Structure 1
Amino acid sequence: MDVLSDLLQRARAGDSLVRQLIQRPPWSLTFADVPQLTVVATLGGHASIRLDDAHANAGATQVRLAASDIALIRGPGRYTIADSPATPPQVIVQGGRKYRVGGGEEIAGTHRSLAPRTYGDGLPGATTMLRGAYELRGDVGDRLLDLLPRLAVVPGGPRTRPALDLLATEAACDEPGQDAVLSRLLDLVLVLALRAWCARPEATLPAWYRALADPAISDALRRLHDDPAHRWTIAELAAKVGMSRAAFAARFTGLVGQPPLTYLTGWRMTLAADLLHDTEATVASVARTVGYQDAFAFSVAFKRARGIAPSAWRRHARTRAS
């Protein structure tokens, strides 16, 4: 499995949430409970997205979406979607409920149900929006989010529009297997949007992603991700990708920014951190899973990478999450 696919699969903490809004101007929605990653797309009409929090100090804080554009929004922090930047805040969504801005009281019927997962008024001149929310898991999710700024916009194109149309159609259906269909279609939209964003000149990307453009190094990274517990050597990796040991080590280090085995150790520690948080596996079991037969050697490596012993990290991470 290629590296981006591996991260997407490991980072998913559960089924994604997909909703469609069909609303005639003026309208404005502020989302206070922001997941790690939100996908917003405009199918018809246009919309404005604004970051409303202290995390919005880097990069764009407000963008305009034309038809078929896709916005990728990183949490935490709140954001507002409206028909226009000039539209005053109207409704805040928090804890799954809608509240009137300024009044604080909960309001009902702001957006009536038009179809399954589809809300609004559906009148002529309305904007049609799709919103998909992802909950991502741990350190692997952080690696995936490193691809993005707080707010990234991908212009509509011939590859993303058919996927958006199909997602919109399925969002309005309620048939057996619907949640599985929506989850996979949203994944498709996300991957297409990530690809498109990473190809844009303004994208600031981690070295490992840029290295995927090199076939030999991409192959080596895939092998490290496919089997992180294997006792890899530089010589074996070089042979697998058809290069000499010295040439491979130099190219990998130059493109990825660290030597192959240093990258492998970092990836193992990422996996270990999530296993310690998400499972009840013993430290010795986690060590074996990520390629260490000796729990003591694993603990030393983990403390060197994270500054804290595995058992202490587990306690701290769980306390922070509770």
Structure 2
Amino acid sequence: MDVLSDLLHRAHAGHALVRQLIQRPPWSLAFADAPPLTLVTTLGGHASLRVGDATPVRLAAGDLALISASAYTIADDPGTPPQLVIRGTKKYPVIDAQPVRNPASRTYGDGEPGATTMLRGAYELHGAAAERLLAMLPPLAVVPAGPRTRGALDLLAAEVACDEPGQDAVLRRLLDLVLVLALRGWCARMEPPPAWYRGLSDPGVGEALRLLHAEPAHRWTVAELAVRAGLSRAAFAARFARLVGEPPLTYLTGWRMTLAADLLRDTEDTIAAVARAVGYDDPFAFSVAFKRVRGASPSDWRRARAAPGS
């Protein structure tokens, strides 16, 4: 499994709330307490998107916006005051706001002429793997429209506007496709790109990253990874460190501790069992590595995450 696929899978980024937003000017929607990751795309017309006090960004038709902020506003114009505040699936009118009609269960607004049509998918991500995924994103990342996303967006728009059997499954899969395309597009535009993204462009280092994610508990050595990558040990170690930004076994340790953090939070497995699951036969060695990487011992980490409100 490649790095991005593994991050999305372990962050549980496969379940999203999908909504269609159809609004005629003037309009403005404020989103509060938003999930960790939101995908917004404009299918027809344009929109202005503002995160916090940052400068508004204009979205043209087909643009993809990745939002990793808890509060943001989407409007026809930056100067239009919010008419609705949306928390989760509930809408709260602002004083003097016009009533909103919902022609379909997943639609806010109406489809009269001159309206802007958008799609919004809100992802509830999970745990340390999600933190690793979100760390590569700014509060707002915009990927311009392009031919690779157009077909997927056309299918998603057609599906979200109807209400037929199996629709939830279709919507989730289509939105996952658009999310992956958006993340790919953003990583390609970043300067510099995420370290692992640079590594994937190299056949040998990319193969090593795939192996480390496919079998994180295996007792990998630099020599074995080099053989699997088709390189000498010295050449492989130097190339991996140059492209990824850290030595291969340091990268492996960080990834193992990410997996361990989620096991400690989500299971009742003993510390020894968690250690074995991520490649450590010695619980003490695992605890030392975990505290060095995560800043707390495994037992303290687990207690903190079990506390109310954590």
> Considering the TM-score relative to the shorter chain, is it more than 0.5?
yes
CA distance in 1, matches of 2:162, 2:278: 42
C-alpha contact (below 8 Å) 2:187/2:194 kept by paired residues: no
Whether 1:172 and 2:165 are equivalent positions in the alignment is: no
Query: Could you list the per-position Cα deviations for residues 75-125 of structure 1 after superposition, in whole angstroms to 9, with x for gaps in the alignment?
Result: 2x310001111212221112532223368xxx8x84322123123121001
Gap runs ≥5 in structure 1: none
* 3-state SS of 1:48 partner: strand
Whether 1:93 and 2:109 are equivalent positions in the alignment is: no
Q: How do residues 291-306 of structure 1 correspond to structure 2 at under 5 angstroms?
A: 291-306=279-294
Superposed displacement of residue 198, structure 1: 1.7
C-alpha contact (below 8 Å) 1:197/1:203 kept by paired residues: no
Whether 1:20 and 2:20 are equivalent positions in the alignment is: yes
What's 2:66 paired with? 72
CA distance in 2, matches of 1:168, 1:79: 23
- Worse-matched range after superposition: 261-270 or 10-19: 10-19
- Worse-matched range after superposition: 112-121 or 146-155: 112-121
Query: Could you list the per-position Cα deviations for residues 277-300 of structure 1 after superposition, in whole angstroms to 9, with x for gaps in the alignment?
Result: 111221111111100112121111
* 3-state SS of 2:147 partner: coil
* 3-state SS of 1:187 partner: helix
Superposed displacement of residue 304, structure 1: 1.7
What's 1:260 paired with? 248
Q: How do residues 1-322 of structure 1 correspond to structure 2 at under 5 angstroms?
A: 1-12=1-12, 15-52=15-52, 61-75=55-69, 77-101=70-94, 110-200=99-189, 202-319=190-307, 321-322=309-310
- CA RMSD of superposed structures (Å): 1.8
Superposed displacement of residue 28, structure 1: 0.6
* 3-state SS of 1:302 partner: helix
* 3-state SS of 1:19 partner: strand
C-alpha contact (below 8 Å) 1:146/1:206 kept by paired residues: no
C-alpha contact (below 8 Å) 1:69/1:155 kept by paired residues: yes
CA distance in 2, matches of 1:14, 1:279: 20
CA distance in 2, matches of 1:244, 1:14: 39
C-alpha contact (below 8 Å) 2:205/2:240 kept by paired residues: yes
Superposed displacement of residue 148, structure 1: 1.6
CA distance in 1, matches of 2:140, 2:37: 10
CA distance in 2, matches of 1:95, 1:35: 8
CA distance in 2, matches of 1:224, 1:209: 15
* 3-state SS of 1:112 partner: coil
* 3-state SS of 1:232 partner: coil
Amino acid aligned to 2:225: L
Amino acid aligned to 2:68: R
CA distance in 1, matches of 2:308, 2:56: 31
- Worse-matched range after superposition: 25-34 or 89-98: 89-98
So what's the TM-score if we normalise by structure 2? 0.95
CA distance in 2, matches of 1:281, 1:14: 25
Counting aligned pairs with the same residue, the percent is 71
C-alpha contact (below 8 Å) 2:128/2:261 kept by paired residues: yes
Gap runs ≥5 in structure 2: none
Superposed displacement of residue 164, structure 1: 0.9
CA distance in 2, matches of 1:305, 1:235: 24
* Aligned residue-pair number: 310
Distance 1:197 1:311, change over 3 A: same
* 3-state SS of 2:102 partner: strand
CA distance in 1, matches of 2:141, 2:191: 9
- Worse-matched range after superposition: 283-292 or 207-216: 207-216
C-alpha contact (below 8 Å) 2:31/2:86 kept by paired residues: yes
